Amino acid sequence: MIATAENVWNECLSFIKDNVNNQAYKTWFSPIVPLKISGDVLTIQVPSKFFYEWLEEHYVKLLKVALVKQLGSKAKLLYDVRIDNSHSSKINNITIPSSGRSFTKGVKVNNYEGSKEFKNPFVVPGIQKIKVESQLNKNYNFDNFIEGECNRLVRSAGLAVSSRPGGTSFNPLLIYGGVGLGKTHVAHAIGLEIKEKHPEKTVLYISSEKFTQQFIDSIKSNSRNDFIHFYQMIDVLIVDDVQFLSGKTATQDVFFHIFNHLHQNGKQVILTSDKAPVDMQDIEHRLLSRFKWGLSAELLTPNFETKVSILNSKIQNDGVVMPEEVVNYLAKNVNSNIRELEGTLISMIAQSSFNRIEYSLELASSVVNKFVKNEKKEMSIDRIKEVVSEYFDLDVQVLQSKTRKRHVVQARQMAMFFSKRLTPSSLANIGAQIGKRDHATVLHACKTINNLSETDKKFKQYITDISNKLNC
């Protein structure tokens, strides 16, 4: 019988089917089309570069064994990767010899022949050239993003990326910080700025939860490859709350390959997270290492001056006239985050408008007591330093000092321990605010206090007493 490409590949599939589970076989081998055979070289067609990369990473040994069984020890396998010709000008033919691998490149362009179209909700139907709704909120722009010491690095990096998306060393740009500090705002602002300066770029904002759900839907509808193709065609991908990928192994894996494709092709990736990469749990190391390739910039809790500026901007936009002392009171007494600060201001404006009373310190105090102080708020590092210093009869400045006196070191470690336990701040931020130490010192302090709490009754009592003072 003449050895045709179909015959050889069918024999290979018989061997492969006995060595992989049914789902893997249907996903990664059934879509492959044998094209031609020339001597000991078999050429197969795969639907995407990602598809080829997956086979290379997970099944290359199995493919080699199967092919050698059919064509002998000198057997070679060539991949014909079908990709969209509007987004690429070349294909890669990958050779797998009996020992090692060699790479050759072709210049022929094939039209992409996908399976059923991936029904992505962001695509505008009826347009031949892909057009994506960016999902950006025009209200979140740089014009109303108030700059302060807490966000200057993030804002500057965002503007640099906006000018040259994919062309700076800030790729990826990872923006992290606690709840309500403006991560989503600045992410949208960067996207809007890019669209204004580079209208030819395809920009997409998406939350990690929606990305995960789309990936699950693509598996259910057998359109996984189309899902991947869609995201590989984005020029600027903005993923919000990337920490929610934790524990989602399959989603992390597909995001890893999409990230690699975008980064290698000079596309811009922007991520937000409520944790620094070093503090993320259940994220694969290979993905974390890529998060660290570019710039990780932290948004800090705003200081008094920045909060006043934020309030004045909001008041001006709302056409409200408010006494300076009232604004200062709100800035001083709402310490958790920007979202709560703006929420308190809105509540105060509503109280004044509905009840027809003037803005005053009395009204401000009433609103703060009702909407802020009686709620369980995020603890601040400054508050923890004050409580710990008072408990150990120390001045806060002493706690912050370089002294290595035993009782001061223990108090300092206690402050770091509670800051890690009660605030969303990164280890690096905690160290910076408590004596300008590094993240390794904070990590050591937390381990020390944990160990002492299990072996030393006195330390266990310290923790109980301070917890009561902090109402936690």
Domain with residue 332: its CATH number is 1.10.8.60
- If you average pLDDT over every residue of the chain, what do you get? 80
- Asked if 391 and 383 touch (Cβ cutoff 8 Å), the reply is no
Q: Which of 242, 276, 299 is the last residue of a domain?
A: 299
Q: Does pLDDT of 429 surpass 60?
A: yes
CATH number at residue 178: 3.40.50.300
Note whether residue 144 is domain-resident.
no
Weakest mean pLDDT among 33-47, 162-176, 310-324, 446-460: 310-324
Q: Around Cβ 405, how many Cβ atoms within 10 Å?
A: 11
Q: Which residues pair with 94 in a beta bridge?
A: 103
Dig out the tokens for 121 from the structure: 């909700």
pLDDT for the residue 116:
35
Q: Which spans in 198-266 are helix H?
A: 208-220, 224-232, 249-264
CB 205 within 8 A of CB 193: no
Domain boundary among 255, 278, 299: 299
Report DSSP letters for 13-43, one per residue.
HHHHHTTS-HHHHHHHTTT-EEEEEETTEEE
Whether 457 and 328 share a structural domain:
no
pLDDT in tens, 132-177: 788 898 888 888 888 888 888 888 999 999 999 988 888 899 999 8
- Over pLDDT 70: what percentage of the chain? 86
442 domain-assigned: yes
Structure tokens at 159: 């503007």
Q: Could you give the CA distance from residue 329 to residue 414 in angstroms, rounded to a whole number?
A: 31
pTM equals 0.53
The reply to whether 317 and 425 lie within a common domain is no
Does residue 376 register a pLDDT over 70? Answer: no
| Pairwise pLDDT comparison (167 vs 319), residue with the higher score | 167
Q: Is residue 126 part of a domain?
A: no
How many domains in the chain? Answer: 4
Tell me the backbone φ, ψ of residue 332, rounded to 5 degrees: -80, -30
Judge whether residue 271 has pLDDT over 90: yes
d(CA 170, CA 292) in angstroms, rounded, equals 10
Lowest mean pLDDT among 199-203, 330-334, 401-405: 330-334
Does the pLDDT of residue 413 top 60, yes or no? yes
Query: Which tokens belong to 247?
Result: 């524990």
Nearest to 222 by CA among 375, 23, 450: 23
User: Exposed/middle/buried for 301, CB within 10 Å: 0-12, 13-18, 19+?
Assistant: buried
Q: What is the predicted pLDDT for the residue at 84?
A: 41
Does one domain contain both 166 and 276? yes
CATH number of domain containing 397: 1.10.1750.10
Q: Return phi, psi of residue 77, to 5°.
A: -125, 125
Judged against a pLDDT cut of 80, whether residue 471 lies above it is answered with no
In this prediction, residue 87 carries a pLDDT of 36
Query: Which range marks the domain in which residue 393 is found?
Result: 381-469
pLDDT 10s digits, 106-121: 222 233 333 333 444 4
The yes-or-no verdict on residue 59 having pLDDT over 50 is: yes
Chain mean position to CA 33: 36
How much is the pLDDT for 131? 64
Cβ pair 62, 77 in contact under 8 A: no
Beta strands in 263-377 (DSSP E): 268-273, 295-299
Question: What tokens appear for 63 in the block?
Answer: 């493919």
Boundary of a domain, candidates 106, 129, 163:
106
pLDDT above 80 (res 124):
no
CATH of the domain at 97: 3.30.300.180
Position 386 pLDDT exceeds 60: yes
Give residue for tokens 């009395």: 362
pLDDT above 70: residue 447: yes
